[in-house]
Structure 1
Amino acid sequence: MVTAQTLPETLAAPLAGFFRYLASEKRYSPRTCEHYQRDLGRLAAWLEQQQLTAWADLSIHHVRRYVANLSRGGLSGQSIARHLSAIRRFYDFLLREGMARDNPALDVRAPKSGRRLPKVADVDQIQQLLDAPPEDPLEIRDLAMFELMYSSGLRLAELASLDLSALDLSGREVRVLGKGSKERLVPIGGKAVDALKRWLAVRGQYTGEAEPAVFVSQRGGRLSRRSIQDRLARWGLRTGADQRLHPHLLRHSFASHMLESSGDLRAVQELLGHADIATTQVYTHLDFQHLARVYDRSHPRARRRSGTIEPRKSPDPKGH
């Protein structure tokens, strides 16, 4: 790390003042301050190489060249964006102190990184996770949650907010309120239906009829998102999962396994309830019967033990 002692005073003094400002006025943590020191120290070393000895000499063209230098050095777009954020914050401080005329990083953007693919678990791992027998009523609840998340590709928020009125176990469907208050009807696999029935049979031990939530805590109230995350991580440890389990992993695995088996991208996107209207517009005309057929044919845990698939009713267009 470049230190103030290795820099010219014209570069070192403003940096030192900025770091004091972060620690005393902004009360940033030592770790955050250390990140700023590292990123801005790297910029200061580059300035010396360019024979620039004052922060006021840095122009937007210099910043763009610096970004290109970082990119050639192997930094990701996300890391470069962090560097630019530190530079902007530093120059806001310099402007406040009268040590700069403008903020040269204000209109510079980091290069886009390739989109990271979500992590998924393979089918065998999921089967091992969901075939583990529950040992008490709360684990019966947990297994029902995890089965439903994987069965229907629910988001964490959708699962936590789910009410009893949204479940139709006889029709094997759940009505989900997704992002942007967009409602969708999603099939529930046979395994998840069985798990939900087992949970509903013991749910009354923890709460009364007035509580609308499907999944409740030991105290009887709606189970929080954090509790769901913690219970899934705990379940993963118990079943010997080789990676840390989190709700979105089940949703990603649902999407991956469905797409791998069916090859029907439009159906999978509709089942996921994609929120971006620009990318989901072509999927809105798919009828539910088609979605249900793709689901029953493709999802690893959708099939009933007898191997038969009961006919489904179409959703009520009035939403009842």
Structure 2
Amino acid sequence: MTKWPVLARHAHAAAWLRAWEDLGRAPRTMDAYARGLAEYLELCEREGVNPLAAGRVHIAVFVRVLTTRPHRRGANVVSIESGAGLTNATIQQRLVPVRLFYDFLVEEGLRESNPVGRGRYTPGRRSTRHRGLVPRLSKLPWIPNEQQWRDFLEVARREPVRNRVLLAHAYDAALRREELCSLRTDDLDPAHRTVRVRAETTKNRLERVVPYSAPTGVLLADYLRHRTAISRARGPLFLSESRRNYGQPLSLWTWSQVVRVSRCRLVSSGSPRTPPAICA
């Protein structure tokens, strides 16, 4: 609530968020819910609209604001997009908490309907498809060509061994940022070249065991020898080497900074096309 004061001014919004928090939603999920709902409530206040009485027209205004507002990083956006507004996926993310909030109001008897439509498909002989409020775009993944891979590997080659192991595990095992940074020494099985991804670190709360390649195993062995100079204690696998947080678990923010700096180096190297990224 302290991060988004507007939520404290709306009792029903605060109660809805508190209910999700009591149900054990992850902190990052709660932050995404709070951000999306706060942006909507701020718009309602600017427009002089009571959120409890808002209709589809007011939701449409919210969508228009999301799709047309200037990007906060302006010309520093490295993307094929225009740099204005939010991406389709982010708009969908912003609409989810608003939709869930109105579901809550309907369940509590404070509204008769939800103004945020949801797409649905009814199978059968006369199947019907109802489009959501904002069409969901599904883009093909970006696949680098041979030269782009070489440029990428050249940038990665100059990174410290810890960062190379992080990159190798992210590629081999398709690990998300939180899964990667949350790995522990006892999650590794070097004999079988596998790593256990614990349920509490995954997005779907399902544990899995994933393999990694032989070259990644060589890098990992080098890093484990390097890690003993920082700490011999078992626990988080990847440790910070900065003077401020020396020996502490690597944070999500630190790994994001590593990726961001590497992307900027790739851009400055003159690679003809790089993945969408933001360079300061």
TM-score (norm 2): 0.50
Bigger-Rg structure (1/2)? 1
